[in-house]
Structure 1
Amino acid sequence: MVDLLAIFAIFISGIVLTSLTPHFQSPDEFNHIKRAYLLTQGEILLNQIGPSGTGGDIDTGLLAYMNAYEVLPFRPNNKVTKNLVETAEVERWKRDKAFSSLPNTAAYMPFQYIPIAIGLKISEILDLNIRNSIYVGRIFNLFTAILILIFAAAIRPLPLAVYGILFLPMSLFQFGSANIDPISFSLSALIPILFIKYFDEKNKLENRQAILLTILILVFCSSRYNFLPILLINILLNFKKRNAVGLYLSIGSLLLITFWIYISLEKNTGITLRGIPTNEVVKYYITHPLNLLSVLSESFTNINVLKGYGRSFIGTLGWLDSPLPDYAYYLLSSLLLFLIVLSLHINEYRKKYPFFWLIVGIFCSLILLPIILLFVYNNHPTNFVDSLQGRYLIPISIFLFCLICSRRINAARKIMSLIILLLLLMMSIKITVSNELTRYYISGKIEMPSLIKGAI
């Protein structure tokens, strides 16, 4: 019952934020929508190169709708106005196309864009306007993420600390947007649960189990390349279990992702406009390993840098242009910390066969994350990885807490945990909705009536 209520709360919060958040206000949501649209047109590996990078031919009605909302990102004083909504709402699918770049999403494999693409395609067939089509894409994406969470909770109740992370403003905001984060968040809860269940030393690993787990890992890693160590561990565990189907499928998945990354680099897909190709940045750090260590050290030890990661983990909404009030970071991080401490129960899975390897894998994923961002997205040269956003750490945290936290705690700890979780949810919703209203709808300027002006 707790799981159903918690997941229902995420679903309702996602629906509310889907309606409340203007379109394209999640980081790179413009390009995520373009990527999903191109998938509806059968374009899987993007191979068109324009002046601004890799992209594809996008419906001009969609591009015109996007253009109307480009006035909002990075401009906190700009609000949603009646004129903006009326101007954008008339845009429909025109079936005429124009090239548009999307370099920072082109490097991803398309699996996690399928729900958004289905929503867009159905909307296009029904001839909905662009505005409603985006809403349908968002809802399909949210619904898919919710189904994955329900599947995970049906296998094993999720630790309350995991729900604590999913209740944070950053998580709820992403659940209400059209991007790949909602499905990534949900898969990061499901995959460790399946590992623990399927790789129990006492049970034989069946082919259908090996196939399901490997496909889920492939989908997960296809847009979260720092989790490739988890795929390597799947290969190792299938080998130890002597499951040939899982072993060959895992190796095939690794080769497929490796091939995709190679092709992406060769075609310059996924390269941001920083003026230096990724290949050259990689070569630089290979030949200057001490510089790489210095950048990583600064990224993990500088207090101000870590503070920035922490704030964006709790929630720096919009295009990182809508921070929460200062008190919110202290309050929500304190509640989450208490919840984690109360949920810790390492002994439950410590003796399980894959536990050690999964902990190693998640540690390697954490180390790989800033390295990949440094190679692909970060400015060069740099002193630290400023492209690392706190939300990138959410899947890592969920994966980890599924392993070291549990619901099998004594009654007193469970009651305290539920109270804290409920308080965290209520405060998170209040803070997030208030932030959204202030950022996008409430102007700081009040135009006084002329009579009052004259009296003054």
Structure 2
Amino acid sequence: MKKKNIFFFLLLLVLLYTSGCMKSYKFVPLELPSQVNGSSIAGEIVKDFSLEQPIEITDRLLKNMDSYNQNTPVCVELFMANYNNRKNTGLIKIELTSANKSAVNMLDVSLIQDNKWQGVCFNDFTLKNLSQKPTTLYIKGVNSKVGEAVTVYLRDDSSFKKSILGHESADSLMYRLSTKQIDDMKSIDAKLNIFLLILVMVIFIVLHYQKVLKFKVFIDWLQNDFKSIPIVYMVTAFPLLFILLIYNPPFQSPDEHSHVKKSYMIATGQFDIVTHSGGSSGGYIDTNLHKYILLLRPIHSSREYIENKKNITASKKLYFTNKNIWVQSPGTAYYTPIIYFPQALVMRVSMWLGLSINHTYNLMRIFNIIVIVLIGAIALQILPVGKEFALLILFLPMTLSQTSAAVIDGYLFSLSLLVWALFAYALDRSKDWNLKLSALSWSTLGLLIAVRPSFIIFGVLFLYIELYRKHYRGIPIMISIALLVVLWSSYSISHVVDLRIQRPLDNLELLRNFMNDPSIFINPFFNTITMENFINWYYKPFIGVLGFLDTELPSWLYNSITLFLGITLMIVACKNNTLLYKQKIMIGVVILISAIMIFFLLWLSWTKIDSDIIEGVQGRYFIPIVFGLALVVSGSFFKCQIMNKGLNILFKLIFFIWVCMLYIQLPITLSNKFW
């Protein structure tokens, strides 16, 4: 590929990136939103559904309205649900009326997200009209059918007479009055886009005219191979991860409390899967550890942080009592105890030293950071192809967030990269491949499969290595590891009881039904991957939606990361490698099958029988398999006339900007949420 073609490719990526966010708006509430806690739902908004909600025009609302131009259009935000992201169709009629004005807007239910505020604006209904009492909001179903409709949330409020389906109701609609204004952050996005566009042009000039330019020393440094990527990873990751540790209060990762419970169980020798009559599987944990979790789990925002200051202070004074209480924890019961050994080790040593539970929890997070980053650095050192792309995946906000928490996800990310690195290393026949490396590969893969069965297809890769290398001494190890994995999987499937999802069929019965009729999985699978808000539910959490998947980052950061990942894949594609095309095809097929298996296993174990989509799938589950994309594209698609020196310049600039973005934005996001 010629240099100018490289430039135009980069330019196209930037233009695609900039096109979506040059002008955007945000809703600005005119009053504080209603509290969501304790709310109910109004029922499906199908044809003939009607809801009448009087609008309370308070003195505070009028005072807030005085600060705006009275000709500003009014918007109404409704807190809505779409029934676990099922595929809904139809329209809703929203009407706002006052003493002398009426305005109507239609809402497409297929665009409504679950448990989110949905804004509707009325261009012909201004703040001046709103102040003319009485004001009423009407919601009417147009053509949605049962099972394909959405709903709105209600809250307890008997101050007005409301009507739902013509009947007086004591519940009030969960709504807030707003205006729509240009998003200042989006204006910053546009400026950043222009900056990136200029940066691409500067890169092109540097690459094309580097011999003419006089700053040769700087160019020489940029042109050198990025051989020290593992060192760069550790030097840049450790400070950022410790910043996340400081800014993030305890238990801000999905199911983190369950992982801490499991670590205690392993630390005290509870390796068996135990179930009490009438309940889900679980185990015994220290009474004060249980109290510590209950005190800190409600803290999900700055308001809750302030409200729970007494609980936070009390939690720091708790110590292990050696008195245990039974708790249900089925979510972690399937996972092999081995993956919890690092956290259990810290738990055991802390108990022996007499440390507080709060100190123990923080030490677990610190120990996780150190071990996970070291494993990642070793994997980067071994990986012969695509180090640049792997480095950026390790620096995804989601990867960093999970690495800094007391969960096992960080280990899955780093160990999966190690598996990819060992496989890519083994493909190079010029490198030594011995029994120890084979044993390490199979053992690591076996551990991953015992936690995430979707990794089982990776066994094809290392079986190929045994045949490709004619290194048959590794096959007995493979058989031994496979036997252990089968034994653990059979034991866990037959003993774990999880009553969080009530279904008429157990997993084995559902599997037999699938063998007879594959469409019972295929239909919800295609509904899931083709639903309207696929990006919000899978791609954004893949990059990073922090906390309990409730803290989104600015849109410019998602766009920038997407852009840089695309350019980095192009860089990897331009570099030479020794992989054969049939090997790349095999890797691509393994990635695809593994991704489908993630959906299949969650359909099998977590999705309700009658659900139209597959439930429980989260973007971070795909991070371990994405590392392999670099192997698929490496040297595949581009005949680059641009030299490696130019590619090194491009990636170093990308990585520098990437790290700066994270060091600035992640603390800001967490500060806004908690502090």
Using the size of structure 1 for normalisation, the TM-score is 0.89
Cα drift, residue 30 of structure 1 = 0.7
Specify which structure has the higher proportion of strand.
2
Q: Which residue of 1 aligns with 2:274?
A: 47
Structure 2: tracts of 5 or more residues without a match? 1-227, 636-641
Q: SS where residue 566 of structure 2 aligns?
A: helix
Inter-CA distance 119–229: structure 2 relative to 1 (3 Å threshold):
same
Q: Does 1:166 align with 2:394?
A: yes
Q: Does 1:212 align with 2:446?
A: no
Q: Which of 291, 298, 303 does residue 520 from structure 2 map onto?
A: 291
The 10-residue stretch of structure 1 (167-176 or 259-268) with the greater mean CA deviation from structure 2: 259-268
Q: Does 1:421 align with 2:647?
A: no
Inter-CA distance 240–47: structure 2 relative to 1 (3 Å threshold):
farther
Write the letter of the residue equivalent to 1:233: L
Aligned residues, how many?
A: 438
Q: 1:368-417 CA deviation, whole Å, 9 max, x = no partner?
A: 111011111233322222311111111111233255448x9622222112
Within a 5 Å distance, the mapping from 1:286-325 to structure 2 comes to: 286-325=515-554
Within a 5 Å distance, the mapping from 1:364-375 to structure 2 comes to: 364-375=593-604
User: For residues 48 and 137 of structure 1, what CA distance do their matches in structure 2 show?
Assistant: 27
User: For residues 181 and 126 of structure 1, what CA distance do their matches in structure 2 show?
Assistant: 27
User: For residues 353 and 213 of structure 1, what CA distance do their matches in structure 2 show?
Assistant: 22
Inter-CA distance 56–347: structure 2 relative to 1 (3 Å threshold):
same
Percent of aligned positions that are identical:
24
Q: Which residue of 2 aligns with 1:447?
A: none
Inter-CA distance 303–21: structure 2 relative to 1 (3 Å threshold):
same
Write the letter of the residue equivalent to 1:122: V
User: For residues 406 and 441 of structure 2, what CA distance do their matches in structure 1 show?
Assistant: 25
Within a 5 Å distance, the mapping from 1:232-311 to structure 2 comes to: 232-239=460-467, 241-269=469-497, 271=498, 273-276=500-503, 277-311=506-540
User: For residues 442 and 479 of structure 2, what CA distance do their matches in structure 1 show?
Assistant: 10
User: For residues 311 and 279 of structure 1, what CA distance do their matches in structure 2 show?
Assistant: 33
Cα drift, residue 227 of structure 1 = 0.8
Inter-CA distance 368–272: structure 2 relative to 1 (3 Å threshold):
farther
Q: SS where residue 14 of structure 1 aligns?
A: helix
Inter-CA distance 176–103: structure 2 relative to 1 (3 Å threshold):
same
Inter-CA distance 201–132: structure 2 relative to 1 (3 Å threshold):
same
Q: Which residue of 1 aligns with 2:669?
A: 435
Cα drift, residue 291 of structure 1 = 2.5
User: For residues 109 and 288 of structure 1, what CA distance do their matches in structure 2 show?
Assistant: 31
- Is the 1:59–1:93 Cα contact (8 Å) retained in structure 2? yes
Q: Which residue of 1 aligns with 2:421?
A: 193
User: For residues 278 and 662 of structure 2, what CA distance do their matches in structure 1 show?
Assistant: 42
- Is the 2:260–2:407 Cα contact (8 Å) retained in structure 1? yes
Q: Which residue of 2 aligns with 1:72?
A: 299
Q: SS where residue 79 of structure 1 aligns?
A: helix
Cα drift, residue 97 of structure 1 = 0.5
Cα drift, residue 47 of structure 1 = 2.3
- Is the 1:119–1:133 Cα contact (8 Å) retained in structure 2? yes
Cα drift, residue 172 of structure 1 = 1.1
Within a 5 Å distance, the mapping from 1:128-167 to structure 2 comes to: 128-156=355-383, 159-167=387-395
User: For residues 248 and 30 of structure 1, what CA distance do their matches in structure 2 show?
Assistant: 39
Within a 5 Å distance, the mapping from 1:312-391 to structure 2 comes to: 312-345=541-574, 348-351=577-580, 355-391=584-620
- Is the 1:138–1:178 Cα contact (8 Å) retained in structure 2? yes
Cα drift, residue 252 of structure 1 = 2.1
Q: Which residue of 2 aligns with 1:183?
A: 411
Q: 1:169-200 CA deviation, whole Å, 9 max, x = no partner?
A: 11111111011111111122221221122344
The 10-residue stretch of structure 1 (273-282 or 106-115) with the greater mean CA deviation from structure 2: 273-282
Greater Rg by CA: 2
Inter-CA distance 7–203: structure 2 relative to 1 (3 Å threshold):
closer
Cα drift, residue 239 of structure 1 = 4.8
Q: Which residue of 2 aligns with 1:93?
A: 320
Higher relative contact order (CA 8 A, sep 6+): 1
User: For residues 49 and 233 of structure 1, what CA distance do their matches in structure 2 show?
Assistant: 41
User: For residues 656 and 380 of structure 2, what CA distance do their matches in structure 1 show?
Assistant: 18
- Is the 2:319–2:357 Cα contact (8 Å) retained in structure 1? yes
Q: SS where residue 178 of structure 1 aligns?
A: coil
Cα drift, residue 332 of structure 1 = 2.5
Specify which structure has the higher proportion of helix.
1
- Is the 1:188–1:395 Cα contact (8 Å) retained in structure 2? yes
Q: CA RMSD in A?
A: 2.5
User: For residues 634 and 366 of structure 2, what CA distance do their matches in structure 1 show?
Assistant: 30
Cα drift, residue 72 of structure 1 = 2.4
Write the letter of the residue equivalent to 2:377: I
Q: 1:89-128 CA deviation, whole Å, 9 max, x = no partner?
A: 1111110001111111110112221111111111111111
Inter-CA distance 335–200: structure 2 relative to 1 (3 Å threshold):
closer
Structure 1: tracts of 5 or more residues without a match? 442-456
Cα drift, residue 248 of structure 1 = 1.7
User: For residues 348 and 574 of structure 2, what CA distance do their matches in structure 1 show?
Assistant: 45
User: For residues 50 and 162 of structure 1, what CA distance do their matches in structure 2 show?
Assistant: 46
